[in-house]
Structure 1
Amino acid sequence: MTEAGTAASCAATTLPEPVRQRVLTLAAQALGQLPATDIPAPLRRFASFAPAKRAKLSASVLGPILETDEHFRRLTAFQVRREHQELGDAVAEGIPVPAADPVEIAALAYLLRPDDWELRVADAAQVAVDTPRADSEAVARLSDQLDQARTETRQVRERLREQVNELKTENVTLRRKLNEARQRIGGLQTDLAARTTEAETADERVEAARSEVEREVRRLRARITELEAIEHAARRTAGQEREMASTRTRLLLDTVLEAASGLRRELALPPGGELRPADTVAGTEPDAAPVGRTAPEDDSSLFDELLSLPQVHLIIDGYNVTKTAWPTSPLHSQRQRLVTALGALVAQRRIEVTVVFDGAELSGPVQLTAPRGVRVRFSPAGVIADEVIRQLVRAEPPGRPIVVVSTDREIAESVAKLGARSLAATTLISRIART
């Protein structure tokens, strides 16, 4: 049979409804397996649906396309044959399959189009005609089963009604017990609320008392701490005053003793208690020479003579000396060079040295390594170095040799009134150069 004759025969053949529904189901299943390029445009939107939904929604479009589009029908038949290989091969080769469903055979024959496909469709149509008789027998059989099921349902319903009555009675009893339990629980909750309120009130009273005790304890501790601080400050002040008085006395005594000893050695005086013949001759004695000989303040030999005095304290106006000696160097370099040179001087002469720098020159914390025996002080905020130098002079006991190195005339005059000797900065610079 030619393709034209086949198409015409197909168009003239009317499929029984069971066969048509099975053809649409098989074609809808195959539609989801075909490439998008092989699917006709009206069917592409159904390809992504679930198989059952696809068969239901595409039926009105899929049937006519299978009847008119021979290429699409062949692609669908090929895919269906792959899914139902044994039965599809038998139908395609014309092999009878008596045990198979005639509707299934007719649907596969319609898609695969073997030579006898029209006969297969006709056989399925004949089976559909004989179906009402079989349906009557099935209906009678189902009616008997329905009557039997109704009888069993009535029996089950009676048993269930009895059980429901029993459950209702039991439910009434349980409701009564539940109400009694709720009443007891309500009374217990009321009692619990009252006891909870009492406990909270007691807790509040206890907390208030605890807070009051803690406040009193903190107040007493603060008072104890304050009194301890006052006592400690008083003890420290008294100790410092006793220590300062002892130090001042010891320094003065050491100065007097060393001066007397040095004078005795210099004059080669004999031990005391002996009267010499010359002591009986009357005459006018000369006045005592001042501390150190009279000489210009920049005399380096005078500086050495003053440093040889017993217990001498050398006080230096730091920046006055450094800016005279090294005016172009940074301040931190000036400070370090001065204290390093003074360290060498202390190691030679064993004297007490204090260097005072003006704190107004500082822009932050000072990093300075002072040698052993060199005391370094910076004037506090709002106080100039000159005032700190005067305080150092006033702090020493009367009679102790004190030498102040500064070119500032105001400092020289003020320390001279306090009993100290002043020297120019160039004197110390010359002495350092020889160290």
Structure 2
Amino acid sequence: MTKDAQTVGGADELPAEVRGAILRTAAEVLGSLEPAEVPVALRQVHRFAPRRRATAGALPLWTALTLDDGFRGRVARVWSQARPALADSIVGPRDDDADAQARGELAAGSAAEVAVGAWLLRPDGWEGLLAAASRTLAEQGAGGDGAASRTLDAAHERADRAEADAAQLAARLGVALVEAEEARSDAATLRREQRRLRSDADRARSEARRVLAEAQDDRVEADRLRAEAADLLSRVQDVQRAAEAERLVVRGESRTARGLAETRVRLLLDTIVDAADALRDELALPPVGLGPADLVAPAGDTGPAPRRTSRGRSATDPALLDDLLALPHAHLVVDGYNVSKRAYGELSLADQRHRLVGALANLAGRTGVEVTCCFDGQEGPRRTGGYARGVRVLFSVGEIADDLIRRLVRAEPPGRVVVVVTSDQQVVSDVQAGGAWAVPAETLLARLTRL
């Protein structure tokens, strides 16, 4: 902006009615804005009453119009929509004879309105147009004196009021036109959205008809499958009834066959017994004079029975005990107090017995092995509680438990797996000589803790 433009466009150099008209238009536009659209510098003015915005808020409004091109452009757009013909004459192309055209424009419209439009729209050469309008206003203010001057002043005052009212109405009209344009834009948007929603609804109805048709087809297929399943169930029930009848027949035949087999075995046994009696009578064997003990060979003739090996494991390894108990028909013989005093030494003897036998019953239930537990002495006439199922509990009478264990080992047939749990080394040596396996008490306790 040149120095002349600055002088003409300043607040102090503009005629008062031009400046008032600009402020009134700006106040109308400010009142129509949403709170989010109000410039920061005018938010306080926006809260004023509509009649006070152009007067009490004159300074902030004029500052915003001068510095904020966006706000001034919004005010100019509202003013132009209220006066389209005058706005077109101000913004339209201009030839070299700018002064003559400016005078024509001043003759066609109010000098104050032309000055307001030039200051707001600011087309090319607006400074000259504003200066011409200002001179016209000055000439109009300087003409006449006396009564004529008073009459003219009164007329000017009425004209100013009418012009102010017209400017206010024009500003409102501009605001209304802007709002109407926005409403038309919103209506177009809503029509487009309505068309889109109608299209979506048509597609949804088409999809619903397709899904309904598929559901009907699925229902027909389900009815067909249900009929086939009912027919298949009927055939299966017929086969099941036939199988049940055949099972009853087979059971009767099996019962008859079993009775026949038992009769044959009994007849064969009677035949063998009768044949043995007849053979005894036929051979006439003399009475037996020597017992089995007389036929035992001297101790020097045979060496001690071979000791069992550890199967590649340490005797204290619980895995060795697991391997032995997994063998067919294994028999586990436990030296009761030798184990219980190591594990439950703080308890009474009765509590030790019940605690140990309960743990052994759990082991027997998990492995299926035969378990025998031997204790020294003899149990009292009244037991404090029953022993667990699956564990044979023996008490030594007239002997110690070690001797009872040795007799149990000797009573087993050769080849059967017998595992003796004791930490008594003498017992270990004796049972191993008798062909049994021996593991220490700690190995069994380690195995029981894993249950």
Q: TM-score band (shorter)?
A: 0.3 to 0.5
- TM-score normalized with structure 2 length: 0.31
- TM-score normalized with structure 1 length: 0.32
